[in-house]
Structure 1
């Protein structure tokens, strides 16, 4: 077996456990989008074009609240700002890939593929570029079909799921499981803690704009704390 194929299969195996949260996450989105009045083709067009669960939920919630288009777009972009940081983190590992491959990886860059890839690349610094590319695509191979398939299932049959199953547990569980191990320094903790605290404190603001304010201040505080630490160490 070639090294790239072995790397790809490691990525697939590492991503399979995420099915526990991806399936209810996708079904919940399909169900809520259907209840909001979207047709199946609209729901799937939404998922295929955006392919980012958190921003899809945020945009759907604002659509239901009849928020202004600018607020919807701004909120979705703010929720997905983490993808910019993901890209910066992965650039040293995958930046030398051909443009076409990088474009495809940009589409499939989601929380799961990022978290698994970073852990793999840091744990195996001797991996070649083809092996890293193979692992990345292996990590997203189970994720994408599960997301799209469960979204269809939620849209078509979600109303038949008993309320006590509480599919919405998947949303916070997913992000806690992926983000908690990434908080490795005080600047990370400051940014995360302040963002959460401010978002909760500003929950009364219309159209979820408290999220925008909280995340912006949290990131700025984390960056400022990091700058202060570096200056103090000089």
Structure 2
């Protein structure tokens, strides 16, 4: 019963994200089909990769005829945040069975991480079963909607007027997720360095500036955190 309550609490917390996931997934479906992918290939992207930002990056680089290794490297760079998400959730979910960890890993997206880590920090007394139930509740209204929105965009993309500015949803989605997560100086520094890096290295071919900016941002954030930790230890 307790796990059921946590599941439905997660479901309620994840439901508002539908307002962002629906247009985001539809935009990808439209862009993918307009780029020459068929519906099966487009759905393969969303079901197997299930990472909107990386999907857009990979699609754009494929259109630019970038080498396969460059496409993979750029997509991995964009998704490096998932490794940080995993490290952040490990103290809460790392002791679960391997199959549960596999499910968590597959469904790990920005929204499921943001909602879950906030819940776990607010209620550290939750059991592993409760945490897993809450996590699954969050992803229930998110991931299936992402699949359906992608399919709808791919199937109905030709009916959308070419001049309709629907791509504004993509940056708004990430702004809505990132801003509340800028809770420390290290987070702010990493975000600023990534923005500056993308602008400075925008001249690089195949969007390689994304790789450089991502590495610089992680280095800057890690160094800021190291100095902050040293300063706190010195004060103690």
TM-score, normalised to structure 2's length? Answer: 0.95
Task: State the distance in 2 between where 1:229 and 1:206 align.
Answer: 36
Task: Return the offset for 1:168.
Answer: 1.1
Superimposed CA distance per residue, residues 119-157 of structure 1 (whole angstroms, 9 cap, x where no aligned partner)? 111111221111100000000001111100010110110
Larger mean Cα displacement after TM superposition, 79-88 or 13-22:
13-22
Matched, 1:147 2:146: yes
Q: Which residue of 1 aligns with 2:22?
A: 23
Please give the secondary structure, in 2, of the residue aligned with 1:184: coil
Q: Which residue of 1 aligns with 2:92?
A: 93
Task: State the distance in 2 between where 1:162 and 1:120 align.
Answer: 41
Which runs of structure 2 are paired with 1:1-234 in the superposition (5 Å)?
2-163=1-162, 165-233=164-232, 234=234
Task: Return the offset for 1:176.
Answer: 0.9
Unmatched 5+ residue regions in structure 2? Answer: none
Task: Return the offset for 1:14.
Answer: 0.9
The answer (yes or no) to whether the contact 1:24–1:150 under 8 Å persists in 2 is yes
Task: Return the offset for 1:111.
Answer: 0.5
Please give the secondary structure, in 2, of the residue aligned with 1:97: coil
Task: Return the offset for 1:39.
Answer: 1.1
Please give the secondary structure, in 1, of the residue aligned with 2:208: helix
What is the root-mean-square deviation in Å for CA atoms of aligned residues? 1.2
Task: Return the offset for 1:31.
Answer: 0.7
Task: State the distance in 1 between where 2:104 and 2:179 align.
Answer: 24
Task: State the distance in 1 between where 2:224 and 2:160 align.
Answer: 46
The answer (yes or no) to whether the contact 2:20–2:169 under 8 Å persists in 1 is yes
The answer (yes or no) to whether the contact 2:34–2:157 under 8 Å persists in 1 is no
Larger mean Cα displacement after TM superposition, 153-162 or 111-120:
153-162
The answer (yes or no) to whether the contact 1:22–1:170 under 8 Å persists in 2 is no
Unmatched 5+ residue regions in structure 1? Answer: none
Number of positions where the alignment pairs a residue of Structure 1 with one of Structure 2: 233
Please give the secondary structure, in 2, of the residue aligned with 1:57: helix
